[in-house]
Amino acid sequence: MIKKILISQPKPASDKSPYYDIAREYGTEMVFRPFFKVEGISSKEFRQQKISLLDHTAVVFTSRHAIDNYFKLAKELRITIPEDMKYFCLIETVALYIQKYVQYRKRKVFFGTNGKIDGLIPLMLKHKNEKYLVPLSSVHNDDIKNVLDNKKLKHSECVMYSTVSNDFSAAEKTAFDYDMVVFFSPTGVKALKKNFPDFEQGDIKIAAFGPATAKEVEAQGLHIDLVAPSKEYPSMTAALKAYLEAQK
């Protein structure tokens, strides 16, 4: 039985989070503990990349961290983002987060269908004359760049933030007694192995969000029990609920 689940993300801001609904319905304890923290780069570091925010007419956001640091840098650089700037997001939850900074209008905020860049491409091709800016973490691959190059879309990539391990305390390491661990990024998987070099999975179930995360779980020699998103379950909470239901 799965009684205690470690969610490698910050605690939800709202008590109405689906995670709490799942905890109540299935009698599980949800522990929220980020495995890494995100640190934005300075405006000086950004300038060294020779990228201008205002040279672009659209932005591709892969995460909420990218949104936070894009608008943070704009403020530090004293740049006013034009009202007609367009925003393209991998998934709807990221798109909705833009409301924290700008008024949400469907004519300028777009989101993909599957959480991957290929699910966003059809929308971007409808706006093929835009010049896209892609804010990224310091740890990234060239997947997005290669896809945009292949589709002949005008774009620039830039680093706006870095991810560093959020190390576990000695007490946390001693009390590591979870039945399931849920990962949301390759960085989180690496952080687990960094904090627990001799980690043995045993009966612990592992859930991974996104193909890159799943790939890293397997690269670390661990077994995956649950992968999201999928056609049936577009979110981790939906997939987790179905998994726990099947375990009853």
How much is the pLDDT for 13?
A: 81
**Residue 156 backbone class (left: φ over 0; alpha: ψ -120 to 50; beta: rest):** beta
Please answer whether residues 43 and 51 qualify as being in contact, where contact means their C-beta atoms are separated by less than 8 angstroms: no
* Residue 156 three-state SS: strand
Please answer whether residues 83 and 55 qualify as being in contact, where contact means their C-beta atoms are separated by less than 8 angstroms: no
Catalogue all structural domains in the chain, each as residue range(s) with its CATH number.
4-35+169-247 (3.40.50.10090), 39-163 (3.40.50.10090)
Angle at 28 between CA 24 and CA 29, to 5 degrees: 100
Angle at 98 between CA 126 and CA 10, to 5 degrees: 125
How much is the pLDDT for 164?
A: 81
CA 44 to chain centre: 25
Per-residue model confidence as pLDDT tens for the chain (248 residues)? 899 999 999 998 888 899 999 999 999 999 999 998 889 999 999 999 999 999 999 999 999 999 999 999 999 999 999 999 999 999 888 999 999 999 877 789 999 988 889 999 999 999 999 999 999 998 888 999 999 999 999 999 999 999 888 889 999 998 899 999 999 988 899 999 999 999 999 999 999 999 989 999 999 999 999 999 998 998 999 999 999 999 88
How much is the pLDDT for 104?
A: 78
